[in-house]
Amino acid sequence: MDYRDKLVLAPMVRVGTLPFRLLAAEYGADITYGEEIIDHKFLKCERVINESLGTTDFVEKGTDNVVFRTCPQERGRVVFQMGTSHAVRALKAAEIVCHDVAAIDINMGCPKAFSISGGMGAALLSKPELIHDILTTLRRNLDTTVTCKIRLLKTPKDTVELARRIEKTGVPALAVHGRKIKDRPRDPAKWDEIADVVSALSIPVIANGDVFEYEDFKRIKDATGAASVMVARGAMWNASIFSAKGKTPWEDVKREYVRKSILWDNDVKSTKHTLKEMIMHYSCLELPEGKGVIKCETSADLARLYGEEDYYNFVVSNRK
């Protein structure tokens, strides 16, 4: 994986499934992260070749629950992001998927209670020895690229010190979200503190935070000196943010997402969550479209809502 001059889709829970990753890539994303998946859950999965879809599925044993789905089209750019608090367990989980993805990334920035309480995500930021153990164990035992994504610590000095320790593990890149654990999305990202990390490291830094327009990719690179740029909400609201040609109207992007969700048999809860996020940003869930999405229980329901019944029937009838 080359981490310089890349536009990167950030990991987003219930959003970063296969259809959305492929949509972002079509618009210009060079690297696409999947949603964070917890190692405990992934260890309960088995690898299944889905000949009907042409995908590789990781399915929870004894169920039909697809925890992670990928396909050959994204093999060179998809990053599997894992939540973990234990080096050996992380390795066992990574070994299941490492040959089907371009890289494994360890989440060290999630501030949500479920992550923190499990010693994962941002809880790792205060445990540099454990970070070292996880990253070196994965790098020593896998042929696949291994990276991690962090948040800012309480002081710029602390962040730089941790980043230097991470660099010494041999990872080829580091993603930095320009917010601290206590910060909320509405709080401005601290690009100047990302710049401090960039100045201190020799490996590529991927800057993340407050990228909402294509022009922001250049703005944050100029402000921080980062090698690459990662975007979350800006892409969730309109995946065409990655296009140098300018944004496509969100209604068109939304419809293409629905079609891709049908094509790749995406979990309807994931599709609904992503659509609701788009609608809440550009419109309102209380209007007919929003209410319609909430009522949908199947992909067929969504196809009817968006006038894609013929496409849905064609796709389903042509599956092997």
pLDDT 10s digits, 269-309 = 999 999 999 999 999 999 999 999 999 999 999 999 999 99
Residue 170 phi/psi, 5° resolution? 95, 10
Q: CATH number for the domain including 107?
A: 3.20.20.70
Buried b / exposed e along 42-80 (16+ C-beta atoms within 10 A): beebeeeebeebebbbbbeeeeeebbbbbbeebeebbbb
Residue 231 lies in a domain: yes
Q: Give the pLDDT confidence score for residue 76 in this predicted structure.
A: 97
**Token pair in block for residue 95:** 């070994």
Same domain, 54 and 179: yes
pLDDT band at 43 (very low <50, low <70, confident <90, very high): very high
Same domain, 216 and 269: no
**CA atoms of 226 and 194, how far apart (whole Å):** 8
Same domain, 154 and 270: no
What is the SS3 assignment for the chain?
A: CCCCCCEEECCCCCCCCHHHHHHHHHHCCCEEECCCEEHHHHCCEEEEEECCCCEEEEEECCCCCEEEEECHHHCCCEEEEEECCCHHHHHHHHHHHHHHCCEEEEEECCCCHHHHHCCCHHHHHHCHHHHHHHHHHHHHHCCCEEEEEEEECCCHHHHHHHHHHHHCCCCCCEEEEEEECCCCCCCCCCHHHHHHHHHHCCCCEEEECCCCCHHHHHHHHHHHCCCEEEECHHHHHCHHHHCCCCCCCHHHHHHHHHHHHHHCCCCHHHHHHHHHHHHHHHCCCCCHHHHHHHHCCCHHHHHHHCCCHHHHHHHHHCCC
Same domain, 177 and 266: no
C-alpha distance from residue 153 to each of 17, 158, 206 (Å): 29, 6, 16
Mean pLDDT to the nearest integer, 7-35: 98
Residue 245 lies in a domain: no
Same domain, 18 and 110: yes
Residue 117 lies in a domain: yes
Q: Which of 211, 237, 263 is the last residue of a domain?
A: 237
Mean pLDDT of the chain: 97
Residue 292 lies in a domain: yes
Residue 1 lies in a domain: no
Same domain, 291 and 173: no
| Tens-digit pLDDT profile for residues 108-149 | 998 888 888 899 999 999 999 999 999 999 999 999 999 999
Exposed, middle or buried, 12 (CB in 10 Å: 0-12/13-18/19+)?
A: buried
**Token pair in block for residue 47:** 């690898």
pLDDT at 320 over 80: no
Select from 135, 24, 21 the least CA-distant residue to 78.
21
Range of the domain at 295: 250-318
Same domain, 147 and 269: no
**Token pair in block for residue 268:** 């309807």
Same domain, 65 and 165: yes
Mean pLDDT to the nearest integer, 176-184: 95
Same domain, 33 and 174: yes
Domains held by the chain: number? 2
Q: Which of 171, 204, 237 is the last residue of a domain?
A: 237
* % of the chain surpassing 70 pLDDT: 100
Residue 126 lies in a domain: yes
Residue 256 phi/psi, 5° resolution? -65, -35
Residue 227 lies in a domain: yes
pLDDT at 187 over 80: yes
| Tens-digit pLDDT profile for residues 215-257 | 999 999 999 999 999 999 999 999 999 999 999 999 999 999 9
Same domain, 71 and 188: yes
* % of the chain surpassing 90 pLDDT: 96
Q: Which of 192, 210, 237 is the last residue of a domain?
A: 237
For residue 99, the one-letter residue type is H
C-alpha distance from residue 250 to each of 3, 30, 297, 305 (Å): 29, 21, 23, 17
Q: Catalytic amino acids?
A: 110
pLDDT at 30 over 90: yes
Same domain, 123 and 261: no
Same domain, 13 and 162: yes
Buried b / exposed e along 132-144 (16+ C-beta atoms within 10 A): ebbbbbbbebbeb
Q: Give the pLDDT confidence score for residue 302 in this predicted structure.
A: 98
Residue 242 lies in a domain: no
pLDDT band at 314 (very low <50, low <70, confident <90, very high): very high
C-alpha distance from residue 141 to each of 1, 130, 133, 239, 244 (Å): 18, 17, 12, 35, 39
- State the angle between helix axes of 309-317 and 250-263 in degrees (0 to 180), rounded to the nearest 10: 30
pLDDT at 5 over 90: yes
Q: Give the pLDDT confidence score for residue 117 in this predicted structure.
A: 85
